[in-house]
Homo-oligomer: A and B are copies of this chain.
Amino acid sequence: MSYIDLNYKPSENDLICRFFVEPEGNSAIEKACENIAAESSIGTWTELSTMESEIYERLGPHVFEIDTASGEVLIAYPSDLFEPGNIPEILSSIAGNIFGMKAVENLRLLDVEFPEKLARSFLGPRFGISGVREVLGVFDRPLVGTIIKPKLGLNSEKHAHVAYESWVGGCDIVKDDENLTNQDFNPFRERILKTLGMRNKAEEETGEKKIYMPNISAETEEMLERAEFVKENGGRYVMVDIVTVGFSALQTLRKENLGMVIHAHRAMHAAFTRNKKHGISMLVLAKLSRLIGVDQLHIGTAVGKMEGPREEVVEIKNAIVGDWYGLKNTFPVSSGGLHPGMIPALVEIMGEDVIIQAGGGVHGHSNGTKAGAMAMRQALNAAMQAIPLEEYAEKNPELKAALDKWGKP
């Protein structure tokens, strides 16, 4: 009973996985492929008395391409293997036990092509890029956001004050950091009330729409209650740590559909996405996130404090913004070690449809948060008008101070 068929032509109902495969020891890649295909679908390590040829014919996967030079392998799985609308089930098949098999030394799920039938069993984003732009009323430039810093430690009042300074300085968006939820030094409900209050004030003063993205990550029911609380108090957004919260709860949040934009932070992803030979690619995580329906997703910066090369970030961006069976798209977010000096390069890489977030790059400004936010917006203005930052900085002292502190990479 073999799963390798290099003459197989995938059908439109197949789900196709691209793996990098490094077989154990000196064994052939074909042997590893047989093991991967079996374990991720209908088989196991030994012949079964309970197997039926009809099952093998109807549900058996097909390894239809093996590139021995690169170690890249394509496997087609009939979509009937999977439960529609159930991300955990799909991952337990194509990204489950196989990573722990002795038959492989390393194994990486590089990409997944979902058949339309399966893709459309998910909700996808409710807002997408155009919906987010409608909420903000900003249509012709990247959005600028900040993360309140220090990540942890400010009390609710100070948190709200720093948010206010960020908004009036020019940020569209203020978000909590990934590890701030409901700690004693800054309780969730108090923070929401105070920060949304300051948002209203900032909107009045600037005449711009302003966004607060509170981190609601928690046990599912608690998370939903927090989302309800945000909504009741005039919030339009929630943010969630999609990896540490997990796929079932993320699906629940989207399903409950509270009418708020969902911002997805990816803390912990690099535990399994970073090694180029093993684990799961960020591209796959991004596709899953769009299927489930997050409206905004951190995908990397190509510049900044986090690793992730430019080509990879662009590939992920294209996957979440392009057409995909009529699903709405997801707004790419670049965040992590950014500062004003990086904005032109970032806009050049990402285009206009990107949310640029800087935490340290705003609150680390020599003249404080408001000046930092002003510098970010100034850098964006310069980039949009194709004016060199140094030139634009001549008449914009906040930008000048930022460039003086952090330079231009």
Could you tell me which residues of chain A, from 209 to 264, have a CB within 8 Å of some CB in chain B?
217-223, 241, 244-252, 255
Separation of A117 and B359 alpha carbons in the complex (Å): 31
Please tell me if the beta carbons of A267 and B96 are within 8 angstroms of each other in the complex.
Answer: yes
A197 to chain B, nearest CB (A): 19
**Residues from chain B with Cβ under 8 Å of A185 in the complex:** 59, 80
A selection of 17 A-B contacts at a CB cut-off of 8 Å is: A44-B149, A48-B149, A50-B150, A55-B153, A59-B153, A81-B179, A87-B219, A89-B182, A92-B178, A92-B267, A100-B270, A101-B306, A220-B248, A246-B247, A246-B249, A272-B279, A275-B275
**Known contacts A153-B52, A154-B55; A220 and B241 CB within 8 A of each other:** no
Task: Give A396-409 as 1s and 0s: 1 = Cβ < 8 Å from B's Cβ atoms.
Answer: 00000000001000
Q: Indicate which residue in B56, B91, B255 contacts A221 across the interface (CB closer than 8 Å).
A: B255
In this complex, the interface size class of chain A, counting residues with CB under 8 Å from chain B, is 35 or more
Interface residues of A in 17-76 (CB under 8 A from B): 40-52, 55-56, 58-59
Given contacts A47-B364, A151-B43, A162-B50, contact A218 B267 (CB under 8 A): no
Contacts of A101 in B (CB 8 A): 305-307
A268 touches B99 (CB 8 A): yes
A: residues with CB less than 8 A from B are 40-52, 55-56, 58-59, 80-83, 85-89, 91-93, 95-97, 99-103, 109, 148-154, 158, 162, 178-179, 181-185, 217-223, 241, 244-252, 255, 265, 267-275, 278-280, 305-308, 336-337, 339, 359-361, 363-369, 372, 406
Knowing A101-B307, A250-B246, A363-B50 are in contact, say whether A219-B85 is a contact too (CB < 8 A). yes
- Once the chains bind, are A218 and B271 in contact (CB under 8 Å)? no
Residues of chain B lying within 8 A (CB to CB) of residue A50: 148-150, 154, 158, 162, 363, 368-369
